[in-house]
Amino acid sequence: MILQSTRDPRATASFAEAMTRNLAPDGGLYVPVTLPTFPDVDRLLSLPWEERCVEILVRLLGDEYGEDEIARVAREAFDFPVPVVPAGDTFALELFHGPSLAFKDFGARFLARMLGRDLTILTATSGDTGAAVARAFWKLPGIRVVVLYPKGRVSPLQERQFASLGDNVLALAVDGAFDDCQALAKVCFADTELSRDLGLTSANSINVARLLAQTLYFFEGVARIGRPPVIAVPSGNFGNLCAGLWAWRMGLPVRAFVAATNANRTVPDYLESGEYRARSSVATLSNAMDVGAPSNWERIAHLFGGDWQALRSTLRWGSLDDDGTRAAIRDLDARGYLADPHGAVACAVLERKLLPGETGLFLATAHPAKFKESLEPVLGREIPLPEALAELLDRPLLAEPLANDPEALKRRLRSAQSPR
């Protein structure tokens, strides 16, 4: 697979190069030069989950990696179920059955098995990325993990998932929003000397390897539904929607995609007005979607050649504020489905956008217990913790405060011994 920058098609890289560089030299994001179209998509959809994952990845990456290596990585990374569950008149694709109980496990576990050693993994998180990345790389020899997160703007359980591990995982609580964390990371990646000295690489969705891994569960969702659905994606940084659109371009039968956001309406406003205006994020119940300047929108715009009308004809969109999110949580609970705030946003926006006769599928991206502090006041009852979360309660937080200052971050990265 050959990749190119979203900003300069002459800036190309192999998959392995793009995976370790993160950003192209011109600051753009790597995207495939061409996405293959699968003529036998019906046969692919008939395959079991792990077998299909292997076959798709071999088709995408077989020019760089052997089939046996790809099969080993896929079977180790994706060794947990991906169920589709009824939620009233729609369906939930549950992506939270991995080790960190969030959809980020797919990309993080794949990346951890594809990368080499002697690296520093620097990642910004609004909640679930940090947990998945920290868990995927925890205690791996020759790897150091640094997680940047907005202080006070992730759920307590999310924070414990990455800030109580220690060992080779350093959690830094940034005085700012997620967008600030993301900007700090990008400054570090753009510093060629720092990147070289520390072997910096990213596990955020700016890393193309994560998005390729995420295309796989869209195939599983459609396979389980058995007919082309309308898929609603809870969207913050828009990597998940980008992965779905890549799967669609590869031939996955999808009737439409719904970009569902919370009060951070940068993309819905653009799709309505034609004016793209990044802005500061606002804090909401669905905190992982609190992004005002979504990095991966650049990839989606590139996929459509910057054609606003083509985007509008392919996507449906909508947003939900916190009051609407609470109402959606209660409504889903009354139907017998317990949703986290992000899934609730996706479901509510989906149901507003469905046409008669269409089948709706929304992505349930995180285990609801990770948001018990938000859900319990809404539902008026206790949300039990699964064992993977309950065991974190007695672990001390090991996070360090960090000023919203690139130079402060660079000093902290250099002050600890790098794996090199």
Q: Cα torsion for 229, 32, 366, 75, to the nearest 10°?
A: 100
Which of 388, 26, 31, 407 lies closest to 207, judged by CA?
Answer: 31
Yes or no: is domain 84-99+208-379 CATH 3.30.420.40?
no
Q: 95 with 393: CB under 8 angstroms?
A: no
Q: Which residues contact 407 (CB under 8 A, 6 or more apart)?
A: none
Roughly how many angstroms between the first and final C-alpha of the chain, as a whole number? Answer: 29
The residue extents of the domains of the chain are 84-99+208-379
Q: Cα torsion for 119, 163, 407, 4, to the nearest 10°?
A: 50
Whether the predicted model's global pTM rises above the 0.85 cut: yes
Instruction: Give CA 266 to chain center in angstroms.
Output: 18
Backbone angles phi, psi at 171, to 5 degrees: -105, 130
Give the sheet arrangement for strand 315-319, strand by strand: 84-87, 90-94, 360-364, 230-234, 256-261, 315-319
120: Cα within 13 Å, side-chain hemisphere: 24
pLDDT in tens, 310-325: 999 999 999 999 999 9
Which of 15, 290, 155, 125 lies closest to 145, judged by CA?
Answer: 125
Rounded Cα–Cα distance for residues 55 and 16 (Å): 19
Output the six-digit token pair for 73. Answer: 């990585």
Instruction: Give CA 312 to chain center in angstroms.
Output: 23
b/e burial code for range 288-319 (CB count within 10 A of at least 16 → b): bbbbbbbbbbbbbbbbbeeeeeebeebbbbbb
332: Cα within 13 Å, side-chain hemisphere: 32
DSSP class of 23: B
Per-residue pLDDT of the chain (420 residues; tens, 9 = 90+): 999 999 999 999 999 999 988 789 999 999 999 999 999 999 999 999 999 999 999 999 999 999 999 999 999 999 999 999 999 899 999 999 999 899 999 999 999 999 877 899 999 987 778 888 999 999 988 999 999 999 998 888 889 999 999 999 999 999 999 889 989 998 998 898 999 899 998 887 889 999 999 999 999 999 999 999 999 999 999 999 999 999 999 999 999 999 999 999 999 999 999 999 999 999 999 988 999 999 999 999 999 999 999 999 999 999 999 999 999 999 999 999 999 999 999 999 999 999 999 999 999 999 999 999 999 999 999 999 999 899 888 889 999 999 999 999 999 999 865 444
DSSP bridge partners of 13: 3
